[in-house]
Amino acid sequence: MASTYRTRFAPSPTGKMHPGHARTALVTWLQARRQGGKIVMRIEDIDRPRVVPGSADAIFRDHEWLGLDWDEGPVFQSSRDEAYERALSQLQKADMVYPCTCSRKEIAAIASAPHGDEGPRYPGTCRNGVTKPGKPPALRFVFEGSSPGFEDVLCGTYPEGRAGGDFVLRRADGVWAYQLAVVVDDAEAGITEVIRGADLLSSTPRQIALYRGLGCPVPRFAHVALVVDGDGTRLATRHRATSIESLREAGRSPEQVIGELACSLGLTATDAPICPKELVQVFELSEISRSSFTWNPKG
Does 11 help bind ligand GLU (rule: CB under 6 A)?
yes
d(CA 111, CA 194): 35
d(CA 167, CA 84): 16
Of residues 189, 180, 184, 177, the one with CA closest to residue 70: 189
Binders of ligand GLU among residues 27 to 46 (CB under 6 A) are 44
CB of 255 to ligand GLU, least distance (A): 25
Q: What is the CA radius of gyration of the chain?
A: 20
Does 216 help bind ligand GLU (rule: CB under 6 A)?
no
- Closest to ligand GLU by CB, 10 vs 218, is 10
Convert 146-164 to b/e letters by CB count within 10 Å (16 or more is b): ebbebebbbbeebeeeebb
Does 200 help bind ligand GLU (rule: CB under 6 A)?
yes
Which residue in the shown chain puts its C-beta closest to ligand GLU? 196
Distances (CA, A) of 203 to 149, 177, 183: 11, 12, 11
Does 172 help bind ligand GLU (rule: CB under 6 A)?
no
Binders of ligand GLU among residues 138 to 157 (CB under 6 A) are none
d(CA 283, CA 137): 47
Report the residue from 196, 210, 213, 283 that binds ligand GLU according to the rule CB under 6 A: 196
223 bridge partner residues:
196
d(CA 200, CA 277): 28
Does 58 help bind ligand GLU (rule: CB under 6 A)?
no
Is-contact 290 155, C-beta < 8 A?
A: yes
Of residues 11, 10, 43, 47, the one with CA closest to residue 177: 47
Is-contact 102 131, C-beta < 8 A?
A: yes
Which region, judged by CB under 6 A, interacts with ligand GLU, from 57-65, 78-86, 115-123, 192-200? 192-200
CB of 12 to ligand GLU, least distance (A): 4
Does 12 help bind ligand GLU (rule: CB under 6 A)?
yes
Does 22 help bind ligand GLU (rule: CB under 6 A)?
no
CB of 56 to ligand GLU, least distance (A): 12
Does 229 help bind ligand GLU (rule: CB under 6 A)?
no
Report the residue from 27, 32, 182, 208 that binds ligand GLU according to the rule CB under 6 A: 182
| Binding footprint of ligand GLU on the chain (CB under 6 A) | 10-12, 44, 182, 196-197, 200
